[in-house]
Amino acid sequence: MTLRAAAEPTRLRLLAACAKGEMTVGELTEVVGQSQPRVSRHLKLMCEAGLLDRFKEGTWVFYRMADERRSPVRDIVSMIPQNDPIITRDRERLEAVKLARHERAATYFRTNAQAWDRIRSLHVDEREVERALVEAWPEGKVRDLLDIGTGTGRILQLFGPMIERGVGIDLSHDMLAYARANLDDGGLMNCQVRHGDMYRLALDDDSFDAVTVHQVLRYADEPANVIFEATRVLRPQGRLVIVDFAPHQLEHLRAEHAHRRLGFADDEVTGWCREAGLETEAVQTLEGDPLTVKIWIAVKSGRLPAVATTGSAERDHREASAT
């Protein structure tokens, strides 16, 4: 049944698109250029065949490739000829869809760079979150800290006096400019910020004792890949700390604040951590109204991850420069 479900040109195109990350029905209709009812029928059939996973979040429905451990979907996708003109055209449309996503988020960040801390505080008391983070911090065990999606640099400001080196990564140049000003004001010469992509960090493997992903994961198209990449740069026994919202139904946060996901369930985050080679150490809940903040803390174990990580961008860069 699985192979039969994939043996149709449009369904193969949809599989190829979903192999690049979580997609909504509307986005997939843009990629393949067909009507939404027709695309929905194909997606339903592929979900029933175990090729795709479907999950509803508010009024949006997302589709992604099924777990490779229980589905041959990755093998099927690998056999799709990438030089096929239709697949090539779909790939171009997919890039346009993703670019539009990123532009919306970038516009939001540019507009709100100086007010970012204030906007976050509208939804949850950041002082309570920061107090919980400090209490959970392994004093004396963290020399090097990486903050992914550093924004205004608040996490570096919070932990800068307790570490030897702090690095913040962000895709927004406006945010980085604001973060640099904050670090200068705080006299934190041991901390720096860099422009970078959270899916492809230009950093060596095993190079940090701790990685924080603070109020960032909900903006990610592929949150599991963010966790895999964070794990790659962690040293053995290093600690990953994720702060984000519990599942909620505040749809306006998508349009007004560019949220991709309306929170995360515990089993979803701990499952991603487990697959990346992390062992969940603690989960803390900070009740709020209307939003509840969750803190997930996981430690890098000695075992290999369930699937390959994105690889070292720093190593890739060096190899490309040598050729």
Please tell me what DSSP assigns to residue 219. Answer: G
What is the pLDDT confidence band of residue 290, given thresholds at 50, 70 and 90? Answer: confident
Token pair recorded at residue 153: 């640099």
Residue 315, classed as helix, strand or coil, is: helix
DSSP string, 229-272: HHHHHEEEEEEEEEEEEPS---THHHHHH--SSS---HHHHHHH
- pLDDT digit string, tens, across residues 105-141: 666 666 766 655 555 555 667 888 999 999 888 877 8
pLDDT digits (tens, 9 = 90+) for 257-272: 888 999 999 999 999 9
pLDDT tens for 49-91 read: 888 988 776 677 888 888 765 678 888 888 888 889 999 999 9
Q: Which residue has the higher pLDDT, 239 or 189?
A: 239
Dihedral sign (CA 105, 110, 116, 122): negative
Domains recognised in the chain with CATH numbers: 2-111 (1.10.10.10), 123-322 (3.40.50.150)
- The H-or-E segment that residue 306 falls in is none
Q: If you write DSSP's letter for every residue of 41-96 in order, what string do you get?
A: HHHHHHHHTTSEEEEEETTEEEEEEPPTTS--HHHHHHTS-TT-HHHHHHHHHHHH
pLDDT in tens, 190-231: 999 998 999 999 999 999 999 999 999 999 989 999 999 999
If you average pLDDT over every residue of the chain, what do you get? 85
Residue 209 CB contacts under 8 Å (≥ 6 apart), including other chains: 141, 142, 143, 144, 145, 234, 235, 238, 239
- Biggest CA-to-CA distance, the chain: 63
**Cβ–Cβ < 8 Å for 301, 279:** yes
Beta-bridge partners for 213: 242
Q: What is the pLDDT of residues 298-321, one digit of tens each?
A: 999 866 665 444 444 443 433 333
Angle between helices 25-32 and 9-18 (to 10 degrees): 120
* Predicted pLDDT of residue 44: 93
